[in-house]
């Protein structure tokens, strides 16, 4: 494994940067540039690069889709949220001829499958799309979302060879040059986390999972699942207060739970994911700052890197 690319990082529903949100960014950027003179485009770009993320960029609005670049000939992604549409366009631009796409589905809630009808490679004859997961109803769920009257394009319109592979949790599977392990997670209708290992690197994709840190057996099981990972992509949708009160049993976790579990497992890099759709860029950046402070306060060993995923982000392994 070489790189992780994020194509969609939101949870529950896709969101867009609003006119008001863009206006706030422009006002902040212009306020910071007051009195400055720029002699070239390069100087303007350098100024923009120095802005706070909330003012000069955006976390984006696509729902879950994460690419794992293995270094091999095949494509590997986790989940089929709306981020799979730009992924598909980029994949076609990077390749020629028939390709194989390995897709690992955490579960089949709508925000994690709604991008499939817009995944262009699935319409191209000669391509292979292999969909893996722990649910026996993967195919039925994907077909159902494209049935009339809900969607105008039937599943059978796809011209790629689409197949489904049911993976057994708790044992290792060999896929696309990687060892893959599934873990059942607490979420309505169940979800599955994936641990990928290859070339001495390990990545965990664990979204839509609720954690009760007071449940020692459950916590220990996740610490072992995360053990020593280079990167853990973690559902940190809620604050701890929300996760244990008004949104308890909603099937998602918090930034605090992410730090606690990853510290216990000796993880090198915690990447927060599945961002709350009601949060704007400033809110997510605030959560990130708080999480980094909490990680530092609670640290007992080596520093752990903490980031918040955004659409277009890349992590080199």
Query: Distance between CA atoms of 105 and 113, rounded to whole angstroms?
Result: 8
Query: Is pTM beyond 0.85 here?
Result: yes
Query: Distance between CA atoms of 277 and 260, rounded to whole angstroms?
Result: 24
- 181 within 8 A of 158, measured Cβ to Cβ: no
Burial class of 208 by CB neighbour count within 10 A (0 to 12, 13 to 18, 19+): buried
Q: Which residue ranges make up each domain of the chain?
A: 3-17+58-316, 19-54
Q: Given this model, what pLDDT does residue 211 score?
A: 87
- 6-52 tens-digit pLDDT: 999 999 999 999 999 999 999 999 999 998 999 999 999 999 999 99
Q: How far is CA 228 from CA 36, 132, 170, 231, 309, in A?
A: 47, 24, 18, 9, 20
Q: What is the mean pLDDT of residues 136-142?
A: 97
Query: Distance between CA atoms of 242 and 85, rounded to whole angstroms?
Result: 32
Of 167, 232, 235, nearest to 202 by C-alpha is 232
Question: Given pLDDT bands bounded at 50, 70 and 90, which one contains residue 237?
Answer: confident
Q: How far is CA 295 from CA 202, 214, 229, 242, in A?
A: 21, 19, 17, 19
pLDDT at 130 over 60: yes
Query: Distance between CA atoms of 10 and 276, rounded to whole angstroms?
Result: 7
Of 117, 121, 137, nearest to 129 by C-alpha is 121
- CATH T-level fold of 3-17+58-316: Metallo-beta-lactamase; Chain A (3.60.15)
Q: Given this model, what pLDDT does residue 242 score?
A: 55
pLDDT at 265 over 50: yes
Residue ranges with strand state E in the chain = 3-8, 65-69, 75-78, 100-104, 128-133, 161-166, 172-175, 178-185, 191-198, 201-206, 231-235, 269-273, 305-308, 314-316
């Amino acid at each position: 494994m070489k790189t992780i690319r994020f194509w969609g990082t939101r949870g529950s529903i896709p969101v867009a940067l609003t006119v008001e949100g863009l206006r706030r960014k422009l006002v902040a950027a212009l306020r910071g540039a007051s009195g400055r003179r720029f002699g070239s485009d390069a100087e303007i770009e350098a100024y923009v690069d120095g802005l706070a993320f909330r003012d000069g960029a955006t976390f984006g609005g696509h729902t879950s889709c994460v690419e794992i670049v293995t270094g091999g000939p095949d494509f590997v992604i986790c989940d089929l949220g709306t981020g799979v549409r730009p992924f598909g366009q980029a994949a076609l631009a990077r390749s020629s001829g028939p390709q194989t796409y390995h897709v690992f589905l955490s579960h089949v809630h709508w925000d994690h499958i709604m991008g499939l009808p817009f995944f262009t490679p699935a319409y191209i004859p000669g391509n292979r799309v292999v969909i893996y997961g722990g649910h026996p109803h993967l195919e039925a769920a994907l077909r159902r979302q494209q049935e009339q009257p809900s969607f105008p394009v039937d599943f059978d319109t796809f011209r790629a060879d689409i197949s489904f592979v049911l993976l057994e949790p708790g044992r290792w599977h060999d896929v696309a040059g990687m060892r893959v392990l599934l873990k059942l997670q607490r979420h309505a209708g169940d979800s599955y986390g994936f641990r990928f290992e290859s070339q001495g690197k390990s990545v965990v994709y664990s979204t839509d999972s609720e954690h009760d840190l007071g449940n020692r057996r459950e916590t220990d099981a996740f610490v072992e699942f995360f053990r020593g990972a280079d990167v853990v992509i973690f559902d940190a949708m809620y604050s701890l207060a929300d996760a244990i009160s008004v949104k308890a049993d909603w099937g998602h976790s918090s930034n605090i739970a992410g730090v606690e579990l990853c510290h216990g497992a000796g993880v090198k890099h915690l990447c927060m994911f599945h961002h709350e759709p009601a949060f704007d860029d400033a809110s997510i950046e605030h959560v990130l700052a708080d999480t980094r402070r909490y990680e530092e306060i609670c640290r007992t060993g080596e520093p752990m890197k903490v980031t918040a995923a955004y659409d277009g982000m890349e992590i080199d392994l």
